[in-house]
Structure 1
Amino acid sequence: MQEQPVPDRYKSFIGIDCDANAERMMRLMRAAMERSDTPWVGYLSTKLAERARMGQDDLHFIGSQMNALRSFFEGIDDAEGLALLNHLEEHCC
Structure 2
Amino acid sequence: MTATTPTTTDRYVSFCGLDCDGDARRMMLHLDAAMAQGASKWRDYFRKKLAEKTKMGVDDLFFVGAQVNCLRAYLEEAADGPGLALLDQLEETCC
Matches of 1:42 and 1:11, distance apart in 2:
38
Return the TM-score normalized by structure 2: 0.85
The unaligned stretches of length 5 or more in structure 2 are 1-10
- The residue aligned with 2:37 is 35
Return the TM-score normalized by structure 1: 0.87
Structure 1 counterpart of 2:85, which letter?
A
RMSD over aligned Cα, in angstroms?
1.3
Larger Rg: 2
Specify which of 22, 25, 33 is matched with residue 23 of structure 1. Answer: 25
The percent identity for this pair of structures is 52
- The residue aligned with 1:53 is 55
Matches of 1:13 and 1:45, distance apart in 2:
30
Structure 2 counterpart of 1:40, which letter?
W
| 4+ residue runs over 4 A deviation | none
| Number of residue pairs matched by the alignment | 85
Moved more, 9-18 or 73-82: 9-18
Matches of 2:70 and 2:41, distance apart in 1:
11
Q: Note the C-alpha offset of 1:10.
A: 5.2
CA deviations 1:20-71 (Å, max 9, x no partner) are 1001000000000001211101101100000000000000000000010000
Matches of 1:67 and 1:22, distance apart in 2:
15
